[in-house]
Amino acid sequence: MSKEKRFKVFATDGDTTWEVFSIVQEEKGDFYFGNTGRLPVVHSRHVSGQTHAKVNGSPVWPAHNRQSLKTFKGMEQLACLTLSIESLSNEELAKAYKGKKFDGSAFIDIRNYRKQVSISPFLLEPQETRLLAGLARGVLQGCQVTVFTQTKPWIVLAIFEP
């Protein structure tokens, strides 16, 4: 990796834009991701394969081990965040966007969703876009998919109504 990479997911109702989810890949290759509001849940996926989840710095569950990112193959779901449209206005799980720089973004027009929207990040082996067909045919049928190729492995965001 040459430098830290930052990615943001935003939600808008046409008048206000909220930052709802953030993914960072540090220079050494570790990923940190989660919601961006007053009650942040931060997940980490390390090059070694170890994963963590914390709320306000306290572990939510024991660490898990997955495949090393140095030899990553296939596709792996990292998490799933479901937001109620109502939660955006009180900034529990999101925050008003302040215009900071980032490397890539995805936007959700919440007017297209009834009450909730889910954001599910995945890691994808570079060049293996054929694996994305399973998302469209499976549980996430009809989802919005955004792929960021600036990281290794690639980041895939699936955005859908649960």
pLDDT at 128 over 70: yes
Alpha-carbon gap, residue 132 to 1, rounded angstroms: 24
- Of 42-51, 99-108, 134-143, 146-155, the poorest mean pLDDT is in 134-143
Of residues 24 and 100, the one with the higher pLDDT is 24
Mean pLDDT across the stretch 62-86? 90
Q: Is the dihedral of CA 101, 18, 21, 131 positive or negative?
A: negative
Alpha-carbon gap, residue 108 to 17, rounded angstroms: 9
68: containing domain: 5-160
Our count of domains for the chain comes to: 1
**pLDDT score for 15:** 87
pLDDT at 1 over 60: no
Query: What is the band of 67 on the pLDDT scale with cuts at 50, 70, 90?
Result: very high
